[in-house]
A and B are shown apart, each in its own frame.
Chain A
Amino acid sequence: MDRTPDPLDRPWRVWASVAILSVFAFSLLFGFVLLPVIQGRAAGVDAFESICRALGIRPGSPSGRQPETSAKAQPTTRVAWSAELMDALANPEAAGESVAGSCAGCHGRDGRAVDLALYPDLAGQSAAAIYKQLHDFKSGSRRSPVMAPLVQSLSEEQMIAVSAHFAAFPLRPLPAAQFPAADPAIEELVARGDAARRIAACNACHGEQSGGPTEAPRLSRQSREYLAAQLHAFKSGERRNDIYSRMRSVAQPLTDKEIEGLALFYAATRTY
């Protein structure tokens, strides 16, 4: 049994540590001091500031000036999704009935529009989608001579409450009227879009699974006339509260026939 330590044990321990920590120290000196100072000098940034930037405790690059801009931001919408807002929409503090009373004239007591040719259904829509539109009507991001004056008096809590209120109602059942069988070209647009015209698939955001942006509304069993009107409004640019012009760029290349087809598809579909 030979348990005596090897005479090489200690030198190995020492020199391996020295070698590895020296490489580390060299990289440290180079990356944290030399490079930032030299790069900073070329960009007119002083040494201390350069090192702080390289470390990440001050913003900006050590090798360049901070860009300046005088452009004024013009947001398409002023809604900012936050965990607090999502939580409030899921568990509203105030009850929505009192506000909902004034919506019922058009959108129905249970969120089903009194006249589908004129108004959208709110029942079964996501609370986030309803809230986004109310907020946009109030801020002027979305224009509507009817809705804008109605929402002006609503507080943040009331908008949240009424959105959650209508979202809780079940979707309208499919109407008894027989719809024509879906057009394969329209189904293709829904499932795959049309790459040649840079049209993203509707399903990318409005699909069966909620993969899209928070505010993407549910489309199935929505009013056919309302859907078609909105696509036309996005296409003409009359409606412009879609962030990154997502819907405007999708609607712009659609033909009138496709808009009618898509509106019909969603009005008659069960799952999206």
Chain B
Amino acid sequence: MPRARWPVTHARNLTFAHLWFGFIAFGAALVLGVWQMWSRSPLPAPFVTSSTYFSSVTAHGTAMAYVLPVFLIMGFGYFVAETSLGRPLPAPRWAWSAFALGVAGALMATLTIFSGRAAVLFTFYPPLTASVFFYVGLVLVVAASWIWCVLMMVAMAQWKQANPGRPVPLAMFATVANAVMWLWTTVGVAAELVFQVIPAALGLKAQLDVGLSRTLFSWTLHAIVYFWLIPSYIAFYTMLPRAAGGRLYSDTMGRLTFILFLIYSLPVGLHHLLMDPEQSNAFKFLQVALTALVSVPTLLTVFTIGASLEIAGRLRGGRGLFGWIRALPWERPLVLATGLAFVMLGFGGFGGLINMSYGMNAMVHNTSWVTAHFHLIFGGTVVIMYFAIAYAIWPAVSGRAAPSLKAQRVQLWLWFAGMMVMTLPWHYLGLLGQWRRVATFNYADPTIAAWGPWVVVSLVGGVILLASGVLFLLNLLQFNVQREMHAGVVGELYAMAVHPPARVPAALNGFRLWNTLVLVLMILAYGYPIAQFFVGNPPQALVHRVDERR
């Protein structure tokens, strides 16, 4: 028997390094998150002042929203590029340079936050202006991810050249969709940072146009959520059907889903500015209407994944209308995580419908409802799939078999339970009027006192999440005590489609057409909303530094 080649070459160490860095940042941010919940609760928490609280929130947001997803997506992307294309990664040296750049940037931003010079939260809130090192650190993280985007596109282009006429494997097609989308996405925040915020932080500008900076940030703000989400969808479409013991119902549906995410992630950001006066009703309406179209890829996915699981369930002997659900191998972490992620996506999706409705948004906009919503969607649906992805690829990355599936299942269930216990009362508190972006509450006030018990329940959820996070890191460490595997033992990760595509139209095998359409939509949807700030004499805000000592 010929010795099997290890399926991952350069990407093995790259993935290992990226995922571990992301998960360590995640673990630290989790501790901060629990402390923040504690600080907002009626129970007396240590170290609470407004400045420690807002520094902590800034660090938590930066680690969770930028560092964890960027590093996970980069690491997972390198892995997908080698395993799905069956070729070594082009230019691994560039990939390592990007890693070094990203780590340097993340450390620079973190040190600035903990020196108390960047309490501006992770969405920046200009005209608040932090130390320039905070912003430059984040720019380095984004620059690192840009190198990754280029590497992904080059890997796909080289494969297409070597395999003319053949469809790019879905996992890689989706990864490149995410890379292309991320390049578009980061243009908004990069313009905000480079032309407005960093010059202000350097003292070159005494005032800036907050309307413009909020509009530019909105460009990034919705698409970044899909950037976080796409690895989960890659797992749903390409890894889950195999883990469940079946096939993917439709490869084309998968391609369409990722394309629709690319198109409808970008010209929709104004729905984050529904309460902002600088944008007009008609443009808000337009972008909300386009936002609603995310229902199309979402429903395509629910249908396709449902159908794929049904195939698996029936192959495993499931009978009747719902019998196939029971027949699914729920003991496998990826299947379990998907089930739990769909439940959280259901709750989170309904919450999102409320947020995108102008009138209802007006009532919840500045309340905890919004914070609870994005914790449920990102921390719930997305992060639980990050765990599942890590568990699924760790044997191939570490070269060791999974130690205990039971410990993995317990961890996933704990995360689900913690997220539910934390976010459901949190949503309710938002409906009661609990405001967000606040360090402490006066529980002596009778109205606020009634919130107390729910905040404590929410804090309990946070503690469960912390326990689950610790267990997750331990589960990954547990791989080290296993024996090393032979290369031949590493199973195939990706599912076959029921009808594997022999050829696909160019539109479903590349991004040229879709990039053109995104460009057209962006000009139409964001052209005037941005151009208006350069006409006449719009009001400017004084730069307000938070990093100066008196």
Contacts and interface: CB of A to CB of B under 8 A. Distances in A.
A203 B439 CA distance: 14
Interface string A63-98: 100000000000000000111001100000000000
A16 B507 contact: yes
Contacts of A8: 505
Nearest to A35: B285
Interface in A187-217: 191-192, 195-196, 198, 201, 203-204, 207-211, 214
A6 interface: yes
Contacts of A126: 550
A209 B513 CA distance: 51
B339 interface: no
Contacts of B49: 191-192, 201, 203
Classify chain B's interface size: 35 or more
Interface in B499-541: 503-508, 513, 517, 520-521, 524, 528, 532, 540
Contacts of B540: 83
B440 A20 contact: no
B441 A6 contact: no
Contacts of A4: 165
A82 B540 CA distance: 9
B281 A3 contact: no
A63 to B, nearest CB: 8
Contacts of B521: 20, 24
A12 B503 CA distance: 14
Interface string B407-449: 0000000000000000000000000000000001110110000
A222 interface: no
Given A6-B504, A27-B290, A86-B206, A16 B517 contact: yes
B549 interface: yes
Nearest to B259: A16
Contacts of B280: 53-56
B442 A86 contact: no
B332 interface: no
Interface in B449-508: 503-508
Nearest to B208: A83
Nearest to A26: B289
A36 B48 CA distance: 49
A26 B206 CA distance: 43
A217 B231 CA distance: 51
Nearest to A206: B550
B50 A24 contact: no
Contacts of B207: 82-83
B444 A86 contact: no
Contacts of A24: 286, 290, 521, 524
Contact of B164 (A3, A191, A203, A210): A3
A257 interface: no
B289 A2 contact: no
B548 A12 contact: no
A31 B280 CA distance: 11
A104 to B, nearest CB: 25
A233 to B, nearest CB: 23
A207 B546 CA distance: 11
A218 interface: yes
A32 interface: yes
Contacts of A61: 281
Given A1-B164, A6-B504, A203-B49, 19 more contacts: A2-B165, A9-B505, A12-B505, A12-B506, A20-B521, A23-B293, A24-B290, A27-B289, A35-B281, A56-B279, A56-B282, A56-B532, A191-B49, A195-B442, A195-B444, A196-B444, A203-B50, A208-B549, A209-B116
List of 6 A-B pairs having minimum Cβ-Cβ separation, nearest first? A56-B280, A31-B285, A195-B442, A27-B289, A54-B282, A2-B165
19 contacts: A1-B164, A8-B505, A9-B507, A12-B513, A13-B507, A16-B507, A16-B517, A20-B521, A54-B281, A82-B207, A83-B540, A83-B542, A192-B440, A203-B50, A203-B51, A208-B549, A210-B546, A214-B542, A218-B550
